Amino acid sequence: MSPGGFRPTRPDFERRAPVWGRRAFDRFLSDLIDAIPEGLYVTDDQREIVFWSEGAEQVTGYAAEDVVGSHCYDDILVHEDAFGHKLCTGSCPLEECLADGRPRSVSEVFLKRDDGERLAVYVKTRRFEIDGRLYGVEVFGELEAVAGREVARLIQKLSDTNVTDPLTGLFNRRYIDVVLEQQFSLYRRIGQRFGVTHIDIDGLEPVNVDFGRATGDEALQFVATVLSDGTRKMDLLARYGDDEFVVVSAAGADDELRHVGERAVHSVRSSRFVTPTEETLVMTVSAGATLVRDDDKDGAAVLARAGEALDEAKHDGGDAFVLRS
């Protein structure tokens, strides 16, 4: 019998039990799972953990008695993706798998070890049924084992530095530079494409001159909020300069990236910023975007090409988007 009373069997195992002996077969399955070096845990349909393997203990530092009976969304592993988005509420691959039965695979995830260390791992989930009840299983392992030490180092670095812009609350340039390295490394290693959108506020300096620097900061915060509200969960938005922003997108095609850029331009244009003197200003942005290419040398080359597209968008007055292939 496994921890928490979970018996890792299937209904058709009954036909095999007379040969093995039911207890011997269950013990064999449990020992087999514990021999897997990756971490593995099983939850019921309410995401209560009912089984925790020895591999899970070795990877995380948590023993079975520490976690069995709790829920996977409790303050245990605290899963985040490489962009810092929380996975345990709203975009949990195990929860989604339990809901629709489709397997999920995430190539880079952070989890929190028992000692507080943030560890980069990959995650795979499956759903199965026993005696009419649904269970979810998650297998996870250290990312370095499959993606290489350099990718794991870059992802780990994201949790070890001061990466937040104090004015807007967005990620900062330091963070986006590391993300670009990480995404480019993954592209070279496993072919995972990404896109970069470079955004610049049109005419922020006149706001500073006419209304003062404090109002200019409020206008910048306003644009940051509008852009953030329109950013997809799978994308990352950061403040990259005084009045510049960068979006790194999990995009595989031009049309998908075009939607990101056009939505940013439209959402800012459609909003209205009210100054402390109750004057209403129409703020606009320009944006340029590009997908990673085989001839790119690094992530900085992708960003530079997006910057060239941005310059083109601003050439005729701004409030425009240009996509460069």
- 285-313 burial, b for 16+ CB within 10 Å, e for fewer? bbbbbbbbeeebeebebbbebbbebbebb
CATH no. for 161-323 = 3.30.70.270
Residues of the chain within CATH 3.30.70.270 domain(s) are 161-323
279, exposed or middle or buried, with CB in 10 Å at 0-12, 13-18, 19+? exposed
H-helix or E-strand spanning residue 280: strand 280-281
Q: How far apart are CA 182 and CA 178, in angstroms?
A: 6
Task: Write the pLDDT tens digit of every residue in 202-224.
Answer: 989 899 888 999 999 999 999 99
Task: Write the pLDDT tens digit of every residue in 100-138.
Answer: 999 888 777 888 888 877 777 888 899 988 878 889 999
- Return the pLDDT at 18: 43
Closest CA to 211 of 263, 276, 123, 255: 276
**Helices 173-190 & 149-157, crossing angle to 10 degrees?**
160
Residues of the chain within CATH 3.30.450.20 domain(s) are 3-143
Strand partners for 120: 110
pTM: 0.61
* CATH classification for the domain delimited by 3-143, as one of 2.120.10.30, 3.60.21.10, 3.30.1330.40, 3.30.450.20: 3.30.450.20
The chain-wide mean pLDDT, for the chain, equals 83
